[in-house]
Amino acid sequence: MQLQDVLFTQGFGTRRVCAGLIQQGLVQFREAGREHFQPVRGLRADHDVDPQGLWFQVQGVAWPYAERAYLMLHKPAGTECSHKPGAHPSIYTLLPSPLRMRPQKSAVQGVQAVGRLDQDTTGLLLLTDDGQFIHRMSSPRHHVPKVYEVRLRHPLQEAQVRRLLDGVVLEDDPQPVRAAACVLVDALHLQLTLTEGKYHQVKRMIAAVGNRVEALHRARIGGLALPADLLPGQWRWLGDADLAAVRG
């Protein structure tokens, strides 16, 4: 693959912009099996490199070549999962520009959130530019479990826990919605597992049994838990083990 095409596919601008970065000597690369980055000064923008295992630096920042981008983000409170947010900042402002500008065949550029979390909900959020992955993780047919830590306004009774497991009816859906698992950590702390993602589902389910959510945090998707060292607002690449854990 030509080096300018590598940069283009990774979101560093048009091919002309990428060629300019190379010509200005702002790019270095390290192919698989090599220990050190190689400067590209003097190389043509159409210099061929093997993208598999390739790392490159643009203006001193190192990037791995990724045919598809898979990320996890620790979503902080007060952010919206939208490119056009209303009253709160967008989660996409937490990501570097190349991840937001990765080219796609559709009109939408960059990585997209796999599902959404409310602006006041925190925790694990996946992002990718792989449409099939988004569909698989979001579709209720695949029953991907998502674990939420729920802080409640009032103590939750065992009878309310049973109702959540047996199914509650939400206002706009005649079909009962059931929790896959409910663990009462203490009277005001519930660990709730869902396998589908309806609008405001956790809050509406808790309201349906006569209580109210005070704080909501997503701790796990599939077998992937939010790492303790990933602070609110931080992101990282998903490795092969992470993807295997998510997919189950």
If asked whether residues 25 and 132 sit together in one domain, one would say: no
Decide if pLDDT at 163 tops 70. Answer: yes
The last residue of a domain, from among 64, 91, 114:
64
Is residue 14 located within the same domain as residue 112?
no
**Residues 215, 228 within the same domain:** no
pLDDT over threshold 80, residue 106: no
Q: What is the pLDDT of residue 154?
A: 97
For residues 233 and 131, membership in a common domain is answered with yes
CATH number of the domain encompassing residue 36: 3.10.290
Span 200-219, average pLDDT: 96
Query: 156 and 36, same structural domain?
Result: no
Q: Of 64 and 247, which is predicted with more confidence?
A: 64
DSSP string computed for 153-173 = SSPPPHHHHHHHHH-EEETTE
Are the beta carbons of 56 and 30 closer than 8 angstroms? yes
Judge if 59 and 174 occupy the same domain. Answer: no
The catalytic residue positions are 118
pLDDT, mean of residues 227-245: 97
Position 172 pLDDT exceeds 70: yes
More confident residue, 182 or 140: 182
Q: What is the mean pLDDT of residues 101-113?
A: 88
pLDDT of 42: 64
pLDDT-above-90 percentage for the chain: 78
Is the pLDDT at 13 greater than 80? The verdict is yes
Q: Where in the sequence is the domain holding 120, given as residue range(s)? A: 70-140+224-247
Q: Give CA 141 to chain center in angstroms.
A: 20
Give 74's pLDDT tier (boundaries 50, 70, 90): very high
Q: What is the CATH number of the domain that holds 215?
A: 3.30.70.1560
23 and 48, same structural domain?
yes
CA distance 212 to 189: 12
Show which of 64, 98, 115 is a domain's final residue. Answer: 64
Checking if the pLDDT of 138 tops 70, the result is yes
Per the structure, how many domains does the chain have? Answer: 3
* In the predicted structure, residue 145 carries a pLDDT above the cut 90: yes
Output the pLDDT for position 175: 85
Here the CATH number for the domain that contains residue 126 is 3.30.70.580
Q: What percent of the chain has pLDDT over 70?
A: 99
Buried b (16+ CB within 10 A) or exposed e, 206-225: bebeebebeebbbebbbebe
| Domain match, 78 and 38 both | no
Of 18, 43, 64, which residue is a domain's last?
A: 64
- In this prediction, residue 56 carries a pLDDT of 93
Q: How confident is the model at residue 33 (pLDDT cuts 50, 70, 90)?
A: confident
Tell whether 60 and 14 lie within a shared domain: yes
